[in-house]
Structure 1
Amino acid sequence: MYTVIGTSNSRAFRVLWLLEELGQPYRHVPANPHGEGVVAFNPAGKVPVLIDDGTPITDSTAILTYLTDRHGDLTYPAGTLDRARQDSLTQFLLDEFDAALWLAARHSFVLPEEMRLSAIKNTLRWEFERSQKTLVHRIGEGAFVMGDKMTVPDLILAHCLTWALTARFPVVETRLTDFLDRMRQRPAFQRAAAL
């Protein structure tokens, strides 16, 4: 059985949701970053951490990739053009969505107050809106980022859009708000959100 360390309001949500989608059993330890039991597995103190057979795996995207590859679901096979496109979209979301939201969080409550630059959030919101316009030209016509099949980028995008709304970053593209509504209706999403 897997163990997932991290609160469900962190990037650990992505891992919890994926495990629900995969129907895999897991134990959830809702620890905060730098909390008890986190640093022992990740010296940086960051969550999530997945423990599999006593081995810790850190970074939500690495964990998602590991689990989808291991279980052969919600991903395309390595070495295929579809997988290259999937990985490209994953990287785009991490660079353009996740990074902007994380930088805004750092300047809102993570960094010491004297190190925060609140004005940077306006620039980040502008970049976030611009990135949405780019993304809608890259995604498939189906219900998911890749088209008709749910994959790793769907988990990351839905998490980032949820995070954006919480952080008051507007989601301006209708296709993305519709996408988020569909993802939130998934039973696995709802089970993970209830944790």
Structure 2
Amino acid sequence: MTARDTFDLTVSRTIRAPRQKVFEAFVKPELLQRWFGPRGFKVTDASLEPRVGGRYRVTMRPRTGEAYTVGGEYREIKAPERLVFTWKWEGEEMGAMGETLVTVTLVERRAEHGVETEVSLLHSGFPAPEARDAHNGGWNSSLNDLVDLIDPRGSAATITVYGDPRSTYVRTLRMALAEKGIAYAYEPVAPHTEQILALNPFGRVPALRDGDLTLYETTAIVRYIDECFDGPLLLAGNTRTRAMMEQYVSLINCHGYDAMIRRYVLQYVFPKGPDGAPDRAVIDKAVPEITSQLAVLDRAYGPRNLLVGDTVTLADLLLAPIVFYLGMFPESKALLAAAPNVSRAHAAMAERESFKTTVPKLG
């Protein structure tokens, strides 16, 4: 196979740090262990001999499943500008791809905010486009981790949340990020605008970007950040509690939001009835459904302040922003008074920093 028969992959990132610091992250095992591998993977072993002819070997493991090991030889080292090494997976299936070559080039420049380094990574010699494409997500995700480690903005340099802060779903995502301790950039943007439509073809909020990856749908995004980042788990742990959590997530998404927000709260916020008043017919039909839903949730809480398990889960984070709005309007205030467990649990959620720091400005 000649070079013309192979396929190459190029990825890049800009990091607000001197290139010496970036270079060291590639050649010092104690640093490489903290970023190497896709989101959600952990390096369990890293052996590096950063000299021409020296070898390296790195083992990484996802949260569940088998470990992966890659190794090779350093072909060129020009600190802190350039690093070239071979790349060969161990194992029968991954190893069948053969040896490829990785070239890392670091270019330092001055910017308004200070020194930054352009990281360009060329992974060449793939035998087929499928093999190249299989490495695209891994390298992009790994470089996100590298940026998180070195850039003074941390994960806010790679993660951006888009959406209207008044949206309950946007607030759920922002609360989830706060609970996990994940820094992020935030762009307040209304649904169905050109900016959101470029991220979500359905025009709804929130959307999230993590480097080259774009995600929409709140529950999908929260699952992604929960599995990719350290911090408290937001998806219930064992099979039983996970199933119960998913039950309440579905209840809130499929039934609760429609009755409580779309057909009740929004009727007051954006009234469409006669003479610009709230549409009583819509509200009066929604109230019995809300009553039934709150009764189910009240029984679920019982004497506890969490829907399932002993820690905050996605279900709690979906419900809290909705109950926040229910407390503002006449019928729903009375309904909450008849659901004391929901009210008590919500008061406990309202004391959490993730809740306090995401309260939307209304009016």
Q: TM-score range by the shorter chain?
A: 0.7 to 0.9
Which is higher, the Rg of structure 1 or of structure 2?
A: 2
Give the number of the structure with larger relative contact order, counting CA–CA contacts within 8 Å between residues 6 or more apart: 1
Match of 1:21 in 2: 179
Match of 2:163 in 1: 6
Amino acid at match of 2:349: M
Relative to its length, the structure with more helix (as a share) is: 1
CA distance in 2, matches of 1:111, 1:49: 27
Match of 2:50 in 1: none
CA distance in 1, matches of 2:302, 2:212: 38
Map residues 159-178 of structure 1 onto 2, 5 A cutoff.
159-166=321-328, 168=330, 169-170=332-333, 171=336, 172-178=338-344
Kept in 2: contact 1:19–1:25 (CA 8 A): yes
Question: What's the offset of the Cα at 1:188?
Answer: 1.9
Kept in 1: contact 2:295–2:339 (CA 8 A): yes
Question: What's the offset of the Cα at 1:110?
Answer: 6.5
Question: What's the offset of the Cα at 1:20?
Answer: 0.9
Match of 1:75 in 2: 235
CA distance in 2, matches of 1:178, 1:109: 25
Match of 1:91 in 2: 250
Match of 1:61 in 2: 219
| Pairing 1:158–2:310 present | no
CA distance in 2, matches of 1:140, 1:148: 13
CA distance in 2, matches of 1:113, 1:42: 30
CA distance in 1, matches of 2:328, 2:220: 25
Amino acid at match of 2:163: G
Question: What's the offset of the Cα at 1:181?
Answer: 1.0
Kept in 2: contact 1:3–1:50 (CA 8 A): yes
Listed as ranges, the gaps of 5+ residues in structure 1 are none
CA distance in 1, matches of 2:281, 2:192: 27
Deviations 1:22-53 (A, max 9, x none): 11010000001123411111122111101122
CA distance in 2, matches of 1:27, 1:65: 19
Task: Specify the SS of the correspondent of 2:221.
Answer: helix
Instruction: Compare 83-92 and 162-171 and name the one that shifted more.
Output: 162-171
Instruction: Compare 178-187 and 53-62 and name the one that shifted more.
Output: 53-62
Kept in 2: contact 1:7–1:31 (CA 8 A): yes
> How many residues are treated as equivalent by the alignment?
193
Match of 2:346 in 1: 180
TM normalised by structure 1 equals 0.86
Listed as ranges, the gaps of 5+ residues in structure 2 are 1-157
CA distance in 2, matches of 1:167, 1:5: 28
Instruction: Compare 181-190 and 160-169 and name the one that shifted more.
Output: 160-169
Relative to its length, the structure with more strand (as a share) is: 2
Task: Specify the SS of the correspondent of 2:327.
Answer: helix
Amino acid at match of 1:120: V
Overall identity of the aligned pairs, in %: 22
Match of 2:289 among 124, 127, 130: 127
CA distance in 2, matches of 1:51, 1:111: 33
Match of 2:262 in 1: 102
Task: Specify the SS of the correspondent of 1:56.
Answer: strand
Judged with a 3 Å threshold, the aligned counterparts in structure 2 of structure 1 residues 175 and 112 are, in CA distance, closer, same or farther, namely closer
